[in-house]
Structure 1
Amino acid sequence: MLNELAAFLGAALLIAMVPGPSTVVIVQRAARQGRRAGMATVLGNETGVLAWGLAAALGLSALLIASRVAYDTLRIAGAALLLWFGVRALWHSRRSSATTTPRTPPADPPPAGTPPADTPTTTGRCYRHGVMTSFANPKAGVFAVSFLPQFVPDGVSVPLALVALSVLWALVDLAWYTPIVWLAGGAGHILRRPRVRRALERLSGLVLVGFGLRLATDTT
């Protein structure tokens, strides 16, 4: 059982290390809005990961394998969401470029009582953004139903084991993304410079659009 657990943790870590839409969104949020926003996005993403795992435990993810219509519907919806995130990032970079000139005077300080960037509303928005990004990939559901059962020990209740493995999967993801958020948030004073921020927005927008187009055209 310990060998299976060690194998699962190693495999889950390798999977977390593969860059995907969640990585792009998390780094973007941490760089733009700080560590709190980045961690809120991570927690949202892990909520989605946990939900996919629980769906596998309940047998719901198997519907994505058995029903092509269900899979394609979720795939197109996820692709549209990623494309929206990407286009919005590109639009923000274009708008900030159009409204910023070399001689623009420093902005006046915000009025008294103006909430800081990392308010509960912003944090909640980042959390929802993370959840939606995780749900945007139907392959996560197919992956959960095909990956997690391989590590269920003999003689153990399969649903309970899948729930436990789902929690571990989310925790491994959290352990991987936390230092990434810390680094990206720490470099925020550089990444939030107008020129660097525009470049980051364009890069993340193009990557998200690429992920969306790939998901939309993937018929496997």
Structure 2
Amino acid sequence: MPLAQLGTLVLLNVAGMATPGPDLLLLTRMATRSRRHALASVSGISTGLVLWVSLTVFGAAALLIAYPVLESVIKLVGGVWLVWMGRGMILAARAQFRDRMNADIDVDTIFGTPWKSYQQGLFTNLSNPKVVLYFAAIIAPLMPAHPTMGDAVLIVLSIVASTFLGFSTLAFLLSTKAMRKRFVSAGPYIDMGSGIFFVIAGASLAINGIATLLMGK
């Protein structure tokens, strides 16, 4: 695959990363409290991307278009997951509002273990099957007419690596002492806002999935 096309693909991916969405919101929430948990969530997000990009390169987008029920089921399951995670964020925010006098709340109390943060990053990324269609839109025009296995592997590695590096850089920037001081008092509000966003986004995703299943499309 020509380097110019590969570079264009990476730039398009980086631009897409900057678009507000569940992955970016989850990362921001964690990075303003704990670099360790933020990097764990980045690893989870990147793991999810390995699956989505691999499926895209090997034709999963066409499969979802041919069998919409698959996309609907993924939306339903993913939506329920996002609602559940949003509920947890809202409960965490309420607990912090009750304990405002305690400024040194342990991040493990809020986020759990780094392994849990990894899982949240993974399942948040996997909850939206539209990712496959997005990657199909940016990958298909740039792929060689007859891609080799090496081309496919290179595309997957380039997108996953650029995402991991980009989100990791953001995690380091947001978790500096200066940034954390700015965000420490806003922590409960960030959690509450994030929780509400995830509940609404998850409910919308699940409702869309149910509606599509009921219509049989």
**Identical-residue share of aligned pairs (%):** 21
Unaligned runs of 5+ in 2: none
**Greater gyration radius:** 1
* SS at structure 2 position matched to 1:153: coil
- Residue 67 of structure 2 corresponds to which residue in structure 1? 67
* SS at structure 2 position matched to 1:128: helix
The answer as to 2:21 corresponding to 1:20 is yes
Kindly indicate whether the alpha-carbon contact (under 8 Å) linking 1:65 and 1:142 is maintained by their aligned counterparts in 2: no
Cα offsets for 1:39-84 (capped at 9, x unmatched): 1111110111111111223334432221111110001111111111
Kindly indicate whether the alpha-carbon contact (under 8 Å) linking 2:9 and 2:138 is maintained by their aligned counterparts in 1: no
RMSD of Structure 2 on Structure 1 (CA): 2.7
One-letter amino acid matched to 1:44: G
- Residue 149 of structure 1 corresponds to which residue in structure 2? 140
Structure 1 residues 35-74: aligned runs within 5 Å: 35-74=35-74
Aligned length: 205
Runs of 4+ in 1 over 6 A off after TM superposition: none
The answer as to 2:3 corresponding to 1:2 is yes
Q: 1:126 aligns with which of 117, 120, 127?
A: 117
- Residue 171 of structure 1 corresponds to which residue in structure 2? 161
Q: In structure 1, what is the Cα distance between the partners aligned to 2:66 and 2:135?
A: 14
One-letter amino acid matched to 2:142: F
Kindly indicate whether the alpha-carbon contact (under 8 Å) linking 1:17 and 1:176 is maintained by their aligned counterparts in 2: no
Q: In structure 1, what is the Cα distance between the partners aligned to 2:62 and 2:146?
A: 22
One-letter amino acid matched to 1:199: Y
One-letter amino acid matched to 2:180: G
Per the normalisation by structure 2, the TM-score is 0.82
Q: In structure 2, what is the Cα distance between the partners aligned to 1:48 and 1:101?
A: 35
Flag the 1:144–1:101 CA change in 2: closer, same or farther, 3 A.
closer
Deviation at 1:192, TM superposition (A): 3.4
Kindly indicate whether the alpha-carbon contact (under 8 Å) linking 1:53 and 1:163 is maintained by their aligned counterparts in 2: no
One-letter amino acid matched to 1:30: A
Q: In structure 1, what is the Cα distance between the partners aligned to 2:143 and 2:21?
A: 26
Kindly indicate whether the alpha-carbon contact (under 8 Å) linking 1:16 and 1:172 is maintained by their aligned counterparts in 2: no
Kindly indicate whether the alpha-carbon contact (under 8 Å) linking 1:93 and 1:199 is maintained by their aligned counterparts in 2: yes
Deviation at 1:178, TM superposition (A): 2.0
Unaligned runs of 5+ in 1: 111-115
Kindly indicate whether the alpha-carbon contact (under 8 Å) linking 2:56 and 2:132 is maintained by their aligned counterparts in 1: yes
Structure 1 residues 76-155: aligned runs within 5 Å: 76-98=76-98, 100=99, 117=108, 122-155=113-146
